[in-house]
């Protein structure tokens, strides 16, 4: 018997494929313009989460993988071990994280199990057919997009967490940080020191078209 969640994701995937067929590839999100809106399902709760739910907050949208050594939770390296405490720290400053998983080879059930195992402090949303990844131009896991707290939800930054490390074990140990200075500036109402940088990680595993 097909569950309600399975039916929803099948429908969403079909819809995504249809949208891509009808409209072609998306242009990448542009800094200084409103961030592309989305409404996706939280893999752990089954509830819809929309970017517009967080107007008035600074939103960090990041692309996520449960298998990529640059991203997944593990003691020896990768970014999740850094992002988990950072998200909890920044929560008190009106900053929220939303993770999006667009990988075709990582199922809803697998991602939900990962969320529960690691007690994720923010939701992971599944992006069937990588529609939202295409809308943002997300390339890697992770890939960060900072959305301002203004009514238009303006995209103010896209890129990496820091200057690209040479290995996953060096994540968080590079002298030149990107994400933290951007968020600090945005919270202070100042121009961010970076607007676009190169992201580092595994490629987003898109649906073959």
For residue 160, the domain's CATH number is 3.40.30.10
Report yes or no on 152 lying in a domain.
yes
The verdict on residue 119 lying in a domain is yes
Is 111 in contact with 126 (CB distance < 8 Å)?
Answer: yes
Number of domains observed in the structure of the chain: 1
Residue pointed to by tokens 């992006």:
127
CA atoms within 13 A on the CB side of 18: 6
Indicate whether 81 belongs to any domain.
yes
Give the CA radius of gyration of the chain.
16
Structural domain includes residue 208: no
- Exposed / middle / buried, residue 12 (Cβ in 10 Å: 0-12, 13-18, 19+): middle
pLDDT digits (tens, 9 = 90+) for 8-24: 443 343 333 333 322 33
The answer to whether residue 209 is domain-embedded is no
pLDDT tens figures, 128-186: 999 999 999 999 999 999 999 999 999 999 999 999 999 999 999 999 999 999 999 99
Whole-number Å distance between alpha carbons of 174 and 162: 7
Residue 86 lies in a domain: yes
Element (H, E) at 35: none
Question: Which residues are bridge partners to 101 per DSSP?
Answer: 126
pLDDT tier at 25 (50, 70, 90 boundaries)? very low
CA-to-CA distance for 75 and 171, rounded, in angstroms?
11
The pTM of this model reads: 0.87
**Whether residue 3 has pLDDT greater than 50:** no
Nearest alpha carbon to residue 43 among 117, 109, 142 = 109
Looking at the domain assignment, is residue 16 inside a domain?
yes
Taking a C-beta distance cutoff of 8 angstroms, is the pair 186, 146 a contact?
yes
pLDDT at 27: 61
Q: How confident is the model over 49-108, as pLDDT tens digits?
A: 999 999 999 999 999 999 999 999 998 899 999 999 999 999 999 999 999 999 999 999
Give domain status of residue 124, yes or no.
Answer: yes
Nearest to 144 by CA among 195, 81, 185, 107: 195
Q: Which domain holds residue 62?
A: 4-203
| Structure-block tokens of residue 42 | 């939280």
Residue 6 burial (CB count, 10 A):
12
């Amino acid at each position: 018997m097909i569950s309600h969640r399975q039916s929803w994701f099948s429908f969403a995937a079909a819809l995504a494929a249809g949208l891509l067929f009808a409209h072609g590839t998306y242009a990448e999100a542009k800094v200084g313009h409103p961030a592309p809106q989305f409404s996706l399902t939280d893999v752990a709760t089954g509830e819809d989460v929309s970017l517009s739910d967080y107007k008035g907050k600074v939103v960090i949208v990041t692309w996520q993988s449960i298998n990529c050594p640059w991203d997944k939770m593990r003691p020896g390296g990768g970014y999740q071990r850094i992002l988990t405490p950072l998200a909890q720290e920044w929560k008190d400053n009106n900053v929220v994280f939303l993770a999006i998983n667009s990988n075709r080879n990582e199922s809803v059930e697998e991602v939900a199990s990962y969320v529960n195992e690691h007690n994720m402090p923010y939701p992971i949303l599944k992006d069937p057919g990588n529609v939202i990844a295409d809308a943002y131009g997300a390339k890697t896991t992770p890939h960060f997009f900072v959305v301002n707290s203004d009514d238009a939800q303006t995209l103010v930054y896209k890129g990496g967490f820091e200057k690209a490390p040479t290995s996953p074990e060096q994540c968080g140990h590079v002298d030149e940080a990107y994400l933290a200075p951007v968020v600090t500036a945005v919270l202070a109402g100042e121009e961010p020191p970076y607007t676009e940088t190169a992201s580092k990680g595994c490629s987003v595993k898109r649906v073959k078209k």
